[in-house]
Each structure stands twice: as structure tokens, then as C-alpha cells.
Structure 1
Amino acid sequence: MVSIHQIQAALATIAAALDDATDADPVFLATADKADVLARLEQITARVAELRLRVIASAQDVAEEVSARDVAAWLVAQHRVESPAAHATLRLARELEGRPVVRAGLARGAFSLEHARVILRGLDDLPDDLPAEVLARAEVTLCDLASEHRPKDLRRLASHLLEVVAPEVAEAAEAAAIRRLEETANAKACLSITDQGDGTTRIHGIVPETVGHRLRTYLQAYTQPRVAALEADGRVPPRSRLLAHAFAQLLENTDPTRLPAHGGDATTVVVTMTLDQLRAGLGVAWLEDGTPISTGETRRLACTAGIIPAVLGGNSEPLDLGRTRRLFTPSQRKALALRDKHCRAEGCAVPTTWCDAHHDQPWSHGGHTDLAHGSLLCGHHHRRAHDPTYQTTRLPDGRYRFRRKARALVRASP
């Protein structure tokens, strides 16, 4: 009688049991039984994963049999496994060979395969010069924590592992680890700004975590999490769009006089248009690189952004180079906030900290930067105030009312 290996016998039993359950409908399980089955399936999944990794770690001879580089290459060729996944699995199998406590916990189903990955990463991140007994204690500690925490939480706990297993060296090791992390983050930092050719620009980047946190904090000062301006269909804009608009507001409110000199002069954005276009609100204006923007957008930017509008006469001679003194001062903004309390649009309660200072009378038509001619509007309603497709009405109590114009009226309006 030919004997078979224990692993082969176990797999045959598993396969037969699964065959028996192929047509079984779980809908007939009681609620408590479903919960028990799900828990046991999680445990069995982890145990089978450990068995697979154990076999993979010892299967170099399988690869050599067909002249494959390693068992990962064999899996790709013979079982159509994706190459990155196959090689990642092989690395994990080899790492588990040197971590008997982790392997044993996975084999018992005490935690998932993802937990095991987190544990291995946490152990790899420990200093190389730790005593063997400290490393052994760290492995046991993480395996115990894995049975009580999600992988995400376990990852956070692993970053403070030394404080538990070796507090005497934790502070120095943590400082060194943070320095390495910062150096790596700075080396990975990159940013690209690409015009898409459709009026949009794609910004993609990787920055150090501290930079990302600072940017997120700044943008949150401009977003409106509680009183978000609704879209045309009545829905609250997605968070990603709120952040994009907040980024635009951040740039508009950046003081260009405090930026480094650029080309021998203070960093500025120059917008060019003719005087007739500026007054009539028709046509387009141009940025320095030739990018076109509407005159309505130019007027809106002039309320808050430190731009220089280069207004040209009939022969393209400069008639007026505006100054950023047209912007409301911090003291004026405080006075407007005390007076207005919130956005002055009808029915809008966005707080003043999220509002722009708006010129009631456009500066292109002789408007003044003073309290009598200024109001606070949230970003959404500030855009409406400079949108030619909307009719703006000043109510007796000082609030603004915005209504979309009829199409015929929009075409005829100056």
C-alpha cells in the first residue's frame, strides 16, 4: 500500500469537504450559524495560506525540474499567476521561514495573512543591532496584538514596538528611524504640473508627510464641511472638488509680495485685457503665458488675488497697471467679518473665515476698496457675483440674491 504525505491527505480531505458543500445554500443557515461559519472561514483561509507559503518556500526543486529561475517564475508559467504577485509571495514565504512565531500563529489561524505581512514589516523596521532576546520578545508581542487589532491599527502599534519591548533604546532608535523616514521622503519628493489642453491642468505629486499635512490643514480652512455650496442638481459637491476649489482659493489669497523674487521682481501674475473688454465683460483676458481666462474670472480674482491687471488702450498701450493695494487689508476684513457675520448671499450661512472680500462696485467701473463698498461672499457665491449668466440683486438689508438669467437675456447682456 502506497502511503501519501500528510499534506496531500489534508488537501484531499479539504477538497472532498468542499465538494460536499458545493451546492449547499447558506441562506438556510441561522444568523448565529452564519456568523460562526464566517469566523471559521477566516481562520481556515489563514491556515491554508500558511500551508501554501510553507510549500512554496521548499519548492525550489519544482522550479529546477523545468529550468525555471525560481518557484515564482514557475507559478507565472504554469498557473498564470501575475509575476509581481508571485514574487511577492515567494519573498513572504522565505521571510516566514525565519519567523517561527509568526508562522505558527498564521498556521493556527490566529490572525490573517495581511496581519502577518504587517508583523514582518514591523520586525524588519527594528534596528539591526538589537539583542536576540529583544527581537524574540518583539515577535511574540506583535503576534499577540495581531489577534486583537486590525492590520491598519497593528501597523501603527508596530511603529511604537520598541517602547514596549525595549524602552531603554526606544527614544534613540525612534529618532534615527524618523530621520531615515524623512530622508527617504525627501528623496522621493516630486511634483508635475501638466496642461491637459482642455482648460484644465493635472497636478500630481509625492511630498513628505509633513508637507502633505500642512497643505491639508491649509485647505481645510477654505473648505466648507458643514455648509457646502450645493451643485446644480442639489447635491453636495464631492470632497475632492471642495479641496480643488480650496486649493484655488489658497493660491488666490497668497500674498505675492512675500514670495521669493522671480526674474528680478516680486512674483506676480499679470492679466492682460483691453479696457473695453474689462468694462463690458465680453471677450477674454490672457495670463503671461498666453492662457485665456474670462473677464468675469479676472474681475473675481481682482477682489482677492494679488494680480496685476495690465489694461490696454486701443493701440495696445498700457493704460493702467493695477496695484495690490486694491485688496482689502486684514483690518478691513476683520471689520467686514464683524459686520457681515457670514456670507452675504441670501440664505447662505457660510462663516466669514471661509469668505472672500468682494467689491460691490467692480474696480473696473470705479469701485473703491472700503467698508461701504465691500461685502463678504463665500467662494461659491463670489463666483456667481462675477458670472454673466447670473443676475445679481442687492436686497434692502444688504444681502445678495442670485438668479440664473434667461438664455436670451444672457446673449443680449453687455
Structure 2
Amino acid sequence: MPETTIPELPQELWRAGKLELAHGVTHLLEVIRVASAGLGKYLAEVESRGAEDLFGYGSASRWFADVARITRGDAQDVVNRALALNPAREPSGEVATFAPATAAAAEDGALGDQHIDAILDVLRKIPDDVPTEERDGAEKILADLARAAGPKEITKAGNDLLAHLDPDGNEPKDPEPAPPRREVFVERRKDGFWKLSGLLDPETGARTAAALDAYGARRPVDDFGQADHRTMPQRRGDAWAELLDLAIACPDQPGTSGYRTLVHVTIGLDELKTGAGKACLDFVGTITAREARLAACDCLMIPVVLSAAGEPLDVGRMKRFVTPGQRRALNIRDGGCAFPGCHRAPKHCHAHHIRHWADGGPTDLRNLVLLCGFHHRLVHHDDWQVRMAPDGIPEFVPPQYLDPLRHPRRNILHRAVA
């Protein structure tokens, strides 16, 4: 097990810089994971020796639950991981470790409990008649992937491996009935916001609540994301906006003909290029120039360029930045949001210009990538960088605090593991 020391924390964390805070979190996370692997070795030894008998307990999990002051269920999970990652001792001799490659990665501090559980779940589903070398190869693939991926990616990769080892069929889907009737009222307030209210029959109301709950689910905290602190009303409001995006993007939708959004932006040319300053949206409100750049990635835009004195210099023509054909090609190539670890499907994604069109970036497949709304804003506002690899697949360079060497990463959730 590698020797890991706890870094000295500043007496007042609020004085620490953002990079120092990020490094502190990643280092302490590694310390916790290394310590968890060491704890597992002790628990496996206690279980194999029956040492819990000395303290009057019938199992190691019951003893550990009292020692750690946790529930028996959580204690059993910890003991189960320990037994899977460490060799057992039987009267006939030592039994081989169930998941040796996963154990090695855990001892390096690279895996958390969710990573380990995802790998073990896949390994336990492999049929007994699969040759040992194929099972060991599958585990090594998952353990190596888990060093730089999240639990969802491990599960997706594991399902792909199981499909090769033990193929399963697809589950049928039940059709949804059409809603009988509904009433919706939309009213614009004096402050520019809109008030939405209505009355729905039981069936339509239940379906609406289910859709808002599904699209408004709290974003999971993974290796690449942040905690979702939105309230339920805020998440449902964002879900409503996402459902509108899906409807507007439909090619058969009347009025917009499949255009994601129609935006009139009144802005100075310098502000649009730099992302600093304000812009007027459809003459009913203001947005930041950075948000105007974000909206311009995948929409219809009529730019109204102003001089320094506010005189309209040019009113541009409506321009479709991503054609339907390009969008279909993007859907096939990326399969969904291309950000590492994101599972969002193509219908929930925007077409992002890697080099922004305001900076001269062309609208072709080598300069486009699918991103969901959350990761689209993250790429525009954070230190993640997007680039196109030589093989024509988009890859993402993480911030320095997340990976000091800044190794490029890809999303493998939408394609099979090689």
C-alpha cells in the first residue's frame, strides 16, 4: 500500500486560493480511499480468523457495525468489499482474491466504494462457464477504466462486456396514452418574468409530474461534476425549459420548423467577440454577452450590431448555424453529450462550436460537438477545454486541479468498449 500523508491545512481555509482548495480535496480523497483499502485488509483478516468471537459477536459485520457506529447493512457492505478485494484463509489454504485488479487499484487510492461496487456487480453476473482468462481480462478492463472514469461509465462498460460474454434480449416498451384535456394559462408579469398556471386531469397531471421529475432529477456528483444545490421548484423550472427545447427542436413542430431557438440579439461587435458586457434579447430583456455566445452555438440568430454611440450598423440575416444533416451526423458520431461521464441522449443536447463562430470558427463536423445544457455552460464558463482528436472524435482536457498532467478524456458511455 502506498504511503500517504495528510497535507497540512491552512488555519483559515477562506484564505486559500481556488487551486489550493481543489488540490486539497483531491489529495484528501486519495487519502480516504487508501485508508479504506487498508481497513478492508483488517476486516478481511478478522472475518477469515473469526476474531469477532473474542468480543462476543457472531459475525465481523455485526462487530464492525458497533465499532464504527453505523447500521448493520452499511457494515455488511464494507465487509463484503473487503472479502472481495482480499484473499481469504481457509483450513485447506489461502483462497485467491475474487477481484485482484480492482484490489490493486483500490490500494493506489484510485477507486471509491461506488467504483468497487460497480465492478463487483459486473463480475458476479459473469456466468461460471466463462473461461478464467476472459473473466480476468474483463476485470482488468474495468479496473483500468475506473482509475479515470465514474461509476456510470463502469456500469456501461460492464454491460458491454457482459453482452459479449452472455448476451441478453431487449425489454419491450409500453405505449403511453394521449392526454384527454388540459388548461394552461401564461401571463407576463411587469418585471419581465412569466407566470405559468393551469388545471390538468388526473392522467395528464400524473404524466406531467413524472416528466418534470425525470428531467428535473438532481444531477449526480461524479468524478467530473459538482453538487446540485438547486431546489425542487428550480429543478422543475429547468426541466420545463428542457422539455420546451425538445418540442421546439422537433422537425414537425409548427412555426419553428425544427429550429432550436430564434434569437434577436442587439449587441456591440466587440462585446459579442469577447464575451464581456451586455446584450438585448428580443428587445424584452438583457443577457450577458457570454450568454449570447452560448445561445449562438445552436440557434437561429439575427445579430443587430451597434456602434459605440448606439447606432445600428448592420442588421444581419437569419442564419442557421447547424443544418439538419449536420445535426444527424453529430447524433451518430457522438451518440449524446460528449462530455466524459455524461449519459444524456442526443435529443437533450446542443451543438457547441469548439471554436466559436464569432471568433471565425466554421460550422462543420470538425468544429462541432454535442453537449447537454449543463455541460454546455460548464465548457463556456470553466477551465475545461474541448478539442477534436486526430481520429475525428471530440475529447476534453480537464482543469489542472483535477488532473495536473491534463490527460485528455472521452465519453465512452455512448459507444462500446474496445
Measured against the shorter chain, the TM-score band is 0.3 to 0.5
Q: Which has the larger radius of gyration?
A: 1
Which has a greater percent of helix? 1
* TM, length-normalised to structure 2: 0.41
